[in-house]
Amino acid sequence: MLRVEDLHAWIEGKEIVKGVDLEVNKREIVVVTGPNGSGKSTLARTIMGDPKVEVKEGSIIFKGEDITDLPPEERFERGIFLTFQVPPEFEGVKIGEFLMKVKGREDLETLKELKEIFRRVGLKEEFLFRELHRGLSGGERKRLELAQALFLGKDMIILDEIDSGVDIESVEMMISILKDLKKRAGILYITHNPLTLKLLEDERIIRMKEGRVVENGR
Ligand SMILES: Nc1ncnc2c1ncn2[C@@H]1O[C@H](COP(=O)(O)OP(=O)(O)OP(=O)(O)O)[C@@H](O)[C@H]1O
Ligand SMILES: [Mg+2]
């Protein structure tokens, strides 16, 4: 579903991703790990089309089409979703209202679906009326990112450290949700968490170092 070929990505005149090849198929979780600063988040942002990142070489193919030069909203429309490692705050934007607008469905049935997802990720219903990411605890932000990934129903889901700062029981809950989500989507999962790596030990894992993939296997 997603194929990244010899990708070289630059930020502010510096090469951060230095020739990465990567494939994520439908019904597959690919785990990405590697030291701080090795380019994992930049790779994710490049796939999503962050305008701060400049692709100087290589391509990103999604569902058979080259999306390397498409704006992020177009990639989203085609079915890619990225969670933020550090989600930005939006004053005055109510979580529930916002998510339903983004999904393009604001009926009662959709609200029910959203409430059920909040229950699954362990967020109380009152969070629907909180402001987007404002004043949320670290773990609550991560739960909300996961809820968005579930609710928006995209085919390719990129999760950037949604398990950092999350308690052990909740990491297990998140991974079991992802294994379920895998039945209908491809997942690229960036993590440092030893428990996650253990729980996903049957999946393919990629290790990055200094902007390159140095290991790829099980
Ligand atoms: N806007 C920017 N300006 C300058 N350098 C940047 C910018 N964004 C990222 N970088 C640099 O790119 C490198 C890779 O960053 P990236 O966030 O991709 O690492 P990471 O592998 O996700 O690390 P972590 O495990 O800490 O999340 C880092 O050295 C970082 O400082
Ligand atoms: Mg990162």
Cβ proximity of 3 and 64 under 8 Å: no
The percentage of the chain sitting over the pLDDT mark of 90, rounded to a whole number, equals 93
Tokens (6 digits) for 127: 């969070």
- What is residue 156's predicted lDDT score, i.e. its pLDDT? 98
When pLDDT is averaged across residues 126-137 and rounded to a whole number, the result is: 94
Q: How many CB atoms lie within 10 A of CB 206?
A: 23
In this predicted model, what pLDDT tens digit does every residue of 158-181 receive, in sequence order?
999 999 989 999 999 999 999 999
Q: For ligand 1, atom 17, which residue shows the shortest CA distance?
A: 41
* Rounded Cα–Cα distance for residues 102 and 114 (Å): 12
CB within 6 Å of ligand 1 — which residues?
11-12, 16, 36-42, 52, 85
Q: For ligand 1, atom 16, which residue shows the shortest CA distance?
A: 39
Domains observed in the chain:
2-217 (3.40.50.300)
pLDDT at 62 over 90: yes
